[in-house]
Structure 1
Amino acid sequence: MVDDSAHPDADAPRDREIIPAAVRRERIERLVDERGFVRVSELRTTFGISGVTARADLDALEAAGALTRVHGGAMPVQRGRTQGAVREQSFEESLESSVIPKQQIGALAASLVQSGQSIILDVGTTTLAIARALAERTELTDVVIITNGLSIALELEPTIPRFTVIVTGGSLRPLQHSLVEPLAATILGSVHADIAFIGCNGVDAARGVTNINLPEAGVKTLMLAAAQRAIVVAEGSKLGQAHLGTVGPLGAFDTLVTDAAAPASQLDLLREAGLRVIQPE
């Protein structure tokens, strides 16, 4: 396959610098992993290349198994597909991917919390970003945070006594450092929080909010019942996806907080289904 990077087409912006194709593609791969989704138009602007070259780069990276091509751009590859299933990533693997989308979601979600409120923070790296954003809001006081995530509890430890941190208890899942049944329902069944921030692996207009792991999905359902208001937090790459464990129908949630690169077509479907959407401008 001939690299067309040396043959700019009519839609190419002026090159700011000449970057070898191999180096450029390595940078593109890092960018996709960091952002969770990158458009062809962004690559043109960032690297000063033509649309043809950007698409050729993405095609080459997909052929190498480095990313997944989608309409208008690319997203990180879904690892571990076997017989139609998707392998559940560990907490550490998830922490290294889609850093910017998670930071965007974390800041937006944290901005919805007020002093004196009680909130439930589900396990996950996106909700960990919410915890970090809450900790940075030094004006917040008297916030009670209930979580089943050990990593989240440790992240929030420095906020005590400004925040009260309650861990649900339950059986430990090492893959996510999460607490699930049995015993997780003991705490969740005896509280009524103002807001529950719930993560997931899929948000679909027809199938609702779902998760890969059944024990995790079960605790998320308990969180739904324990809060006055439920907010699902999900990167754009998870929209339109559906997995084994049902967390709840779309109607059980009043808001979706997602990132700036979330696909507009999926957001339109979710809005039509009655879900409020918040994302960076």
Structure 2
Amino acid sequence: MESSRDEHPAGLGSLRRRDRIAAVVEAHGFARTTDLARELGTSEVTVRTDFDVLSAAGRLTRVHGGAISVDASPVERPFEEVSAVGADAKRAIGARAAALVRDGQCVVLDVGTTTTQIAEALLERLDLIGVTVVTNSLTIALTLEQAVPRFTVIVTGGTLRPLQHSLVNPLAQSVLEGIAADIAFIGCTGVDLAHGVTNVNLPETDLKRLMSRTARRSYVVADGSKMGVAHIGVIGPLHSFDGLITAGADESMVDALRAAGLAVIEAEAADGTPS
């Protein structure tokens, strides 16, 4: 049974609890309802009520499944805007990832600006034949159109998300559940030692998680700006991926990720220097 302080939102106990919640969210960038309820020894209903009060006071932002910091509240930006950020690093990652693909393989390409660079690099690999690419990205599908019939391009279908030109559930899941791919490249918005591989958008997070399970090998692709960052949607723990392909990452973070057991492939720019 909950204590009386949980039953009286205006009480001193509630004020202290909400201060604690706000402090946790601010320190970590986000917090889950279930985790806070367990940590505070109260119900999820009480935590959600506290979220509502704190959100109304401008101290955090409510999201599905939890809350995120106001200062760190990630705003999803249009694909075209994000693609220009860290372009050199993304191109280096794209080339390094594409180099892992072999003739006749089935490749899953997640939506994103970095994975689009993988598609561009695959297009330039005129030596590749018989490759099947499965994607939920309209941008990637159109990029690879000129490689048909050398490549087979399969689009998952689903509901269109305009900002990223991506397709999500319903329907996308049924296509992915029916394939067994050789290799998958998964984009994200955060790679963190404690929280694993995360993403700001929950509908896409569900698909990313499924995509990572469809393939014999699954790689996260993320530039250095995403290292040490955690967002609300957990794609999977570090150990659930075969490796991370990155560029422009801080060496201390790369060392820490490797020490945690994650294989890290650092891509290089065209001139041979770390990107």
Q: Output the TM-score relative to the length of structure 1.
A: 0.70
1:131 aligns with 2:131: no
Of 219, 244, 262, the match for 1:275: 262
Cα deviation for residue 120 of structure 1 reads 0.1
Residues 64-120 of structure 1 deviation map (CA, whole Å, 9 limit, x = unaligned): xxxxxxxxxxxxxxxxx8443111121011112111011100000000101111110
Does the C-alpha gap of structure 1 residues 235 and 249 become closer, same or farther in structure 2, counting only changes over 3 Å? same
Counterparts of 1:44-193 in structure 2 under 5 Å?
Answer: 82-193=70-181
Aligned to 2:187: 199
Residues 119-170 of structure 1 deviation map (CA, whole Å, 9 limit, x = unaligned): 1000001000000000000000000000000000000000000000000011
- The residue type paired with residue 259 of structure 2 is E
Of 191, 206, 217, the match for 1:218: 206
Equivalent position SS for 2:108: strand
**Count of residues in Structure 1 that have an aligned counterpart in Structure 2:** 200
- The residue type paired with residue 179 of structure 1 is L
Cα distance in 2 for partners of 1:166, 1:233 equals: 21
Cα deviation for residue 273 of structure 1 reads 1.2
> RMSD between aligned alpha carbons?
1.0
Structure 2: 5+ residue stretches without partners:
1-68, 269-273
Counterparts of 1:252-263 in structure 2 under 5 Å?
Answer: 252-259=240-247, 261-263=248-250
Cα distance in 1 for partners of 2:212, 2:220 equals: 10
- The residue type paired with residue 238 of structure 2 is L
Cα distance in 1 for partners of 2:229, 2:71 equals: 17
Segments of 4+ moved more than 2 angstroms:
81-84
Cα distance in 2 for partners of 1:154, 1:207 equals: 34
Cα distance in 2 for partners of 1:273, 1:190 equals: 33
Equivalent position SS for 1:86: coil
Equivalent position SS for 1:166: strand
Equivalent position SS for 1:135: helix
Equivalent position SS for 1:175: coil
Aligned to 2:252: 265
Equivalent position SS for 1:229: strand
Equivalent position SS for 1:145: strand
Structure 1: 5+ residue stretches without partners:
1-80
Equivalent position SS for 1:195: strand
Q: Output the TM-score relative to the length of structure 2.
A: 0.71
Cα distance in 2 for partners of 1:112, 1:179 equals: 25
Cα distance in 1 for partners of 2:207, 2:92 equals: 25
Counterparts of 1:237-248 in structure 2 under 5 Å?
Answer: 237-248=225-236
Cα distance in 2 for partners of 1:143, 1:268 equals: 34
Equivalent position SS for 2:244: strand
Cα deviation for residue 265 of structure 1 reads 1.1
Residues 39-88 of structure 1 deviation map (CA, whole Å, 9 limit, x = unaligned): xxxxxxxxxxxxxxxxxxxxxxxxxxxxxxxxxxxxxxxxxx84431111
Cα distance in 2 for partners of 1:228, 1:123 equals: 19
Aligned to 1:236: 224
Equivalent position SS for 2:218: strand
Cα distance in 2 for partners of 1:166, 1:185 equals: 13
